[in-house]
Every structure is written in structure tokens, then in C-alpha cells.
Structure 1
Amino acid sequence: MTVPRWLEMTWQDGLFCHWTVDPAIVDETLPSGLSVATHDGDAYLGVVAFAMDDIRPRGSPFGLSFPELNLRTYVEGPAGPGVYFYNLDADDRIGVAVARRLFSLPYYRAEMTVRRDGETVRFTSRRTHRDAPHVRFDATYEPVGDTYVPEPGSCDAFLVENYRFYTSGKGLYVGAIAHEPWTLREARVDLRANTLFEANGFDRPDCEPIAHVADPIDVTADRIRRV
């Protein structure tokens, strides 16, 4: 998928954790115009943690870098299949303010740390956004096994190969991104704190997550547009 190169950035230290959930539970949380997407009958809630590096408009010599943590699900929408974000927490005051005001994205300010020791990453986050539900996240993760690119049609591809996202504010909005296919490895995760489900009105899933770490990847993004 190609998109206008309005923003350029690199994503690194990525962790994907996904839990299966009843599609009906997800569907009732979605705004008008979206419906839940499933794979083999299951819907998924995903917690994704990563660092966004050198985010800048195309041609700009200067960029921003900060960590991000989001809770998401997968949907069918008027522009095609994509991701629906319940929250995007980020450690950047300016970026959060701009994203909320101009693009209707559910960004929240948070204090975050990303520490690397070889291939092991510790990612911590504490939401500091005024008048928003409390969120804490604390995980250490590392790759296990060999790298691979998800096969088209597989569950792994359903979970990570998404190039469109939706958000709702004063209406429904859609954005598009472009990048090479993800290169993944299965992950070993020590998840010490995660209150993203409760903060977004979900019961905590009682199953073990499907966990992956991802190689760094260069990403381009288009402007967000009203559907």
C-alpha cells in the first residue's frame, strides 16, 4: 500500500501482545460505521508498545522521538479493514496536544521509559494526563526463536499487517500508513503491570497473550481524513 509521504518515522523496540475476546464484546464498543473484524471467529484486543523515532514532515531536517503505548482492536470500516484505537499514550507533551486537537486521536500524556540490555527491553508507562483514567504498564520482553515475515492470511498477519486506522471524535476519521512487511519473532514477556483494559472499560482477558517483538521499520503516514 502506498500513501502520500506526509510524515516519516522509524518504529523500534516494538512489542505486540494480543488477547482473544468475544466479538460481541468488542462490537458494542465501536462507533457507528465500524464493525468488529475477526480471524477464525475470534476478535482481538492488542496492547502495542514501541518507540517512534525521528517523526518529521517530509523534507524536514528535524524530528521528534518518543515512546507510545496503545490499546487497539481490528475493524471493518467504510474505507476498508483497519485498526481502531481506544487509546494512544505517549511521552511527548506537544505531540499529544497536536494529535488531540487537530486529528481527533485519543492520545494521552504519560511518563515512559524504554531501557535496552542487548535484545531485552523494559518498557514502563504511567499516564499523567489530567482527568483521564489511570493507566500503568510495566513489561520486560525479549525475542525467542527465528525471525519471520507473517504469511498472508495467517493470524499473525491479521494482527500486525494493518495499514489503515480509524478514530472517532466529531465524526469518524481514517488515516493510512505504509511500510514494508513486519519482521517478527515470538516474544518472552514478563508483564508486571497492565491496566489498559480496565481504563477502557474491558474486563481483563483470562487467556495468555500471543506475543511478538518486531524488527525496526521505516514508516510513512498520510494526513487523517474524515470519512
Structure 2
Amino acid sequence: MRSLLSMRWDDVLFAHWPVDPGVVAPTLPDGLDVDTHDGDAYLGIVGFRMRSIRPRGVPVGLSFPELNLRTYVRSAAGPGVYFYNLDAADPIGVTLARGLFRLPYYRAKMQVEDRPDGIRFRSRRTHRGASSARFDATYRPAGAADTVDSDSLDAFLTERYRFYTESDGGRLYRGEVDHPPWELRDATLTIRENTLFEANGFDRPEGDPRVRYSPGSDVTAGRICRVP
């Protein structure tokens, strides 16, 4: 993969809820199937600090928080991530991502604060014409780093190096990212407000999410290409 962008993802929250595959399947574009682990599909909320995102060869980049709702899919091109939304606190970054990667990025007002009880992550979508979406939660690591087995649920949920996106004309594209394997830790999560599911047409999943934390990783991304 030839790198188009480089960046750093720090203080990553992974929160995943198991759902019936039939909840996810109708929301996917043609050419994608639900990917499951032990019969379950997953809806995941992932938040992090994006640092120094920049095109290849540019010394200075943008930094801003990002929050996304995603699920896991497969196609003839392989397994990957399908995003329902990616909210970000930078209008330039949102415009860049929409243009380069055709991803559903939305402008949002965000605050990410280091506090004694953990990292407080707040987001309020401000994108004109988009549905309202709010998130307010605190998370913190609660243990030592885990060794992630390649067949484990954690690997299924986090070790994804491909994403899929659909153009306005209904064409399916894929993009590739690269980074070292995630260093994951158990984590606690306290959610005060979360309307991301409703904003994307889902009922709120029942039960508690599976929560993991990563201190972060360096990431590169290549150009998207059309899926035949």
C-alpha cells in the first residue's frame, strides 16, 4: 500500500455492542455482507484523539478528536469496517476526508479532557443538514495490556485494516490502512448521553458494551479504489 496520509490515533476508546445480524444487514450497500463472531454482529463506538494527520511529505498536520459508529463487514475483497458516521472537530479535516475517501464525515463541536476520573469525551454534531447526534462519556484503562490472540473477539473488533464506503451514485469503494497491532487494555466507561444509534436509525442495543482502551498507534492510509 502506498501511503497517502499519515497520522497518530491516541487514547482510543473501543465500545462494542453485540446485535443480531439482521439488524445490520438491511443497512449495508450492495456487495457487502455482515461479518459475525460466534453468530453476533457488532455495532461499535470508537473515539480518539487524531493527531498530526497530514499528506505524505508534508511536515505539519491537523489534530482534532474523532468519534465514529461502525460495524464489521466482508466482501470478495476481504473483511473490513463499514462506517455509519465519523464526527470530527475540524472543518478542514472533514472536507478533506469527504473528498479523498468518500466517508460520511460530519462536523462536530468536541471536547476531550484528561480528568482525575479518566478521559471525558464530549461531542455535539453541528454539520448543516445532518441529523443531531450527541455523545458524553468518560473512560479510563483499568488493567494491564492484553495480548490479543488472532482468533479472539478483540482481534475481530479491532484488527481491521480495510474500510468500505459507498459513493452518492451507489458505487462501492474500499480503502486500506496500516498500523501495528493494537495494545489493548480493559477499561471502564460511563456514558452520560449517547444518541449515535438513534441518529443512524438503530434502536439502542441492550446490555453493556465490551469496552477496551488503547494508548494509541501510528497509522497510514492509502487511496481508495472501486470494488469491482
Regarding TM over 0.5, the answer is yes
* 1:174 equivalent in alignment to 2:174: yes
Indicate the RMSD between aligned Cα atoms, in angstroms. Answer: 1.1
Q: How far does the alpha carbon of each residue in 1:131-152 deviate from its partner, in whole angstroms, 9 at most, with x for none?
A: 1110000010011111123110
Report the AA paired with residue 180 of structure 1. Answer: P
Mapping 1:112-123, distance limit 5 Å:
112-117=110-115, 120-123=118-121
- Normalising to structure 1: TM-score of the pair? 0.96
Q: How far does the alpha carbon of each residue in 1:33-86 deviate from its partner, in whole angstroms, 9 at most, with x for none?
A: 000000000000000000110011122111011110000000012321000000
The match for 2:33 among 35, 47, 58 is 35
Mapping 1:125-204, distance limit 5 Å:
125-169=123-167, 170=169, 171-204=171-204
**SS across alignment from 1:70:** strand
Q: Which residue of 2 aligns with 1:13?
A: 11
Mapping 1:98-117, distance limit 5 Å:
98-117=96-115
**CA distance in structure 1 between the aligned counterparts of 2:75 and 2:86, rounded to whole angstroms:** 20
Q: Greater CA deviation, 36-45 or 74-83? A: 74-83
**CA distance in structure 1 between the aligned counterparts of 2:142 and 2:114, rounded to whole angstroms:** 16
The match for 2:90 among 76, 92, 96 is 92
**Does the Cα contact within 8 Å between 1:149 and 1:182 map onto a contact in 2?**
no
* 1:44 equivalent in alignment to 2:42: yes
Change (3 A) 1:8 1:119: farther
**CA distance in structure 2 between the aligned counterparts of 1:57 and 1:28, rounded to whole angstroms:** 35
**CA distance in structure 1 between the aligned counterparts of 2:220 and 2:100, rounded to whole angstroms:** 19
Offset of residue 119 of structure 1: 7.9
Q: How far does the alpha carbon of each residue in 1:148-183 deviate from its partner, in whole angstroms, 9 at most, with x for none?
A: 231101001000000000011231111100111000
Is there any run of 5+ residues in structure 1 with no aligned partner, and where?
A: none
* 1:212 equivalent in alignment to 2:208: no
**CA distance in structure 1 between the aligned counterparts of 2:63 and 2:116, rounded to whole angstroms:** 21
Question: How many aligned positions are there?
Answer: 225
**CA distance in structure 1 between the aligned counterparts of 2:101 and 2:128, rounded to whole angstroms:** 19
* 1:79 equivalent in alignment to 2:77: yes
**Does the Cα contact within 8 Å between 1:119 and 1:143 map onto a contact in 2?**
no
Offset of residue 120 of structure 1: 1.7
Percent of residue pairs bearing the same amino acid type = 60
Report the AA paired with residue 145 of structure 1. Answer: G
**CA distance in structure 1 between the aligned counterparts of 2:20 and 2:75, rounded to whole angstroms:** 19
**Does the Cα contact within 8 Å between 1:10 and 1:218 map onto a contact in 2?**
yes
Offset of residue 25 of structure 1: 1.1
Is there any run of 5+ residues in structure 2 with no aligned partner, and where?
A: none
Offset of residue 32 of structure 1: 0.1
**CA distance in structure 1 between the aligned counterparts of 2:138 and 2:129, rounded to whole angstroms:** 28
**SS across alignment from 1:204:** coil
Offset of residue 206 of structure 1: 1.1
**CA distance in structure 2 between the aligned counterparts of 1:154 and 1:212, rounded to whole angstroms:** 13
